[in-house]
Amino acid sequence: MSSDNISSPISRDVDIPYSTTTTATSSGDPSQSPPQPPLAGVVPLSWPPDGKLSLEWIQHMMSLLDWSSRNLAPLAFPSVFPVPVFDALVLTASKILHKEPNCLQIEILDSDSTVVVVGDLHGQLHDLLFLLEDAGFPTQNRIFVFNGDYVDRGAWGLETFLLLLAWKVFMPHKVYLLRGNHESKYCTSVYGFEKEVLTKYGDRGKHVYRKCLGCFEGLPLASIIAGRVYTAHGGLFRSISVSHSKRSKGKKNRRISLNPETTPLCLGSLEELSKARRSVLDPPWEGLNLIPGDVLWSDPSMNPGLSPNKERGIGLLWGPDCTEEFLKKFNLKLIIRSHEGPDAREKRPGLARMDEGYTIDHDVESGKLVTLFSAPDYPQFQATDERYNNKGAYVVLRPPGFDSPEFHSFYAIAPRPTVNAYYDYEEVIDSDEDLDLASMVTAL
Ligand SMILES: [Mn+2]
């Protein structure tokens, strides 16, 4: 892996303490290089002695991550973000996240509060930094809901995830982080995040990766904003019907019918969602615990009904009739889901392209279904010269109804710092189709 512009002059005006004479060099694959001493002149981030993060601390962290992504080799990352700081941040965030319910109820108490919803980010740190400036930082009356897929594909998944964890720790009731399908062991082993972590943290990489996976397990699955808007990474989910055999005098010997060929699929309820077991490294595609996999992997379709999502190998496809049923049943007006970028949408005739970072997929009697994708110029690494050049978008929801989404599209930060990918993007398929279930079994 080549060094990423170490010798180029620092072009951004960042107010972090560092020595302008500091250089780091690497040649060849940094994961093969010997351990590096801390860089002279770089002041690493330190965890506040009282454990309380401040806005200044987070702003400093943002500057530092931006600077290091432009000026340091990946393997020098611990020089700015030492393992003890990583440990403290992830432990503090994990404790908060694991206590949250599967489906967050985000009540808006302040009449002038707005809610910003963000879709897939996929390690595109600089675009996230832009988004936060453009939308405005989280505040007491600006709530953020992130819809998952923070890592993989892009080269700064670790920075992206850690920054979001810091905001979560600083404002736990104003910043909400939902789980995406990429916050899993299987996806991160295929699409780059695992290798990114091992490269950046060297001999502590396995420890750091394991802690990230533990944190992913704690991420909630969905949210309901102001009682009106349902958000989740993939979307809707099935009912898990369990029929009890009457022969066994009500004892444990129950008969469970799970074969989708024989059991008609029907939509699950919010109560079922609340009872699902989300703390799994990879959501199962078979067995009893199917709701997390559906919520994280499903896609809308223009065909009516619910059906297995054969393209993905996990999750469901649901039609406009299901959107209507779900909205009506739970008195909702809007569904905001993410999960499909320009590459996925290119292969889905009948559904709109992702050029603007959002699409309105279902427009039904009770409300709408929106797909929101916040990674512009995605994926970062592409094998062809012809890029999608998609914009990213975020949604602002305003009182009193919070159900008329205001879309904000934005271009990618250009140029991106030059770095190498952490996965073989010429070999690994573009979108998440054809999930390799066999390798997922071994990944478990
Ligand atoms: Mn996804």
pLDDT in tens, 206-234: 999 999 999 999 999 999 999 999 999 99
Q: What is the distance between the alpha carbons of residues 441 and 315, in angstroms, rounded to a whole number?
A: 16
Mean pLDDT of 388-412: 97
pLDDT at 52 > cutoff 80: yes
DSSP secondary structure code for residue 118 in this structure: E
**Greater confidence, 4 or 142?**
142
> Would you say domain 46-245+254-443 falls under CATH 1.10.8.350?
no
The reported pLDDT for the residue numbered 6 is 29
Q: What is the pLDDT of residue 427?
A: 86
- Ligand 1: centre distance to CA 367 (Å): 23
Least confident span in 13-27, 30-44, 122-136, 313-327: 13-27
Distance 25 CA to ligand 1 centre (A): 35
- Which pLDDT band, with edges at 50, 70 and 90, does 435 fall under? low
Ligand 1 centre to CA of 338 (Å) is 7
- Quote the pTM value: 0.87
**pLDDT exceeds 70 at position 39:** no
% of the chain exceeding 70 in pLDDT: 83
| Per-residue pLDDT at 413 | 97
Q: How far is the CA of 26 from the centre of ligand 1 (A)?
A: 33
Is the pLDDT at 17 greater than 80, yes or no? no
Closest CA to 20 of 10, 34, 32, 30: 10
Look at 333 and 385; give whichever has higher pLDDT.
Answer: 333
pLDDT at 439 over 80: no
Phi, psi of 304 (to 5 degrees): -70, 160
Is 98 in the active site? no
How confident is the model over 102-110, as a mean pLDDT? 95
Look up residue 380 and give its two tokens. 């970062």
Is 441 a residue whose pLDDT tops 60? no
Residues 6+ apart with CB under 8 A from 326: 230, 236, 267, 332, 335
Q: Which of 98, 122, 126, 182 is catalytic?
A: 182
Say how many Å lie between the CA of residue 181 and the centre of ligand 1: 5
Burial of 172 (0-12, 13-18, 19+ CB in 10 A): middle
pLDDT score recorded for residue 42: 82
Return d(Cα 206, Cα 255) in angstroms, integer.
41
Least confident of 84-93, 134-143, 270-279, 434-443: 434-443
Cα-flanking dihedrals φ and ψ of residue 232, to 5°? -160, 160
Whether 146 contacts 152, CB under 8 Å = no
What's the whole-number mean pLDDT along residues 406-419? 97
C-alpha of residue 121 to centroid of ligand 1, in Å? 10
- Per-residue pLDDT, 428: 82
pLDDT(3) > 50: no
Please tell me the predicted confidence (pLDDT) of residue 24.
Answer: 38
pLDDT of 321 higher than 60: yes
Q: DSSP for 248-260? A: GTTSS-------T
Tell me how far the alpha carbon of residue 397 lies from the centroid of ligand 1, in angstroms.
22
The least confident of 39-48, 281-290, 348-357, 402-411 is 39-48
Residue 43 is encoded by which pair of tokens?
Answer: 């002041």
| Portion of the chain with pLDDT greater than 90, in percent | 79
Band (pLDDT 50/70/90 cuts) for residue 264 is confident
**How does the average pLDDT of the chain come out, rounded?**
88
**What is the 13 CA–ligand 1 centroid distance (Å)?**
34
What is the domain partition of the chain in residue ranges?
Answer: 46-245+254-443
DSSP state of 243: P
pLDDT attached to residue 132 = 98
Instruction: Point out which residues pair with 397 in neighbouring strands.
Output: 115
Q: Residue 33: pLDDT above 80?
A: no
Cα-based distances in Å from 62 to 18, 66, 365:
15, 6, 43
| Mean predicted confidence (pLDDT) in 17-29 | 37
Instruction: Pinpoint the alpha helices (H) of 276-385.
Output: 291-297, 320-329, 342-346
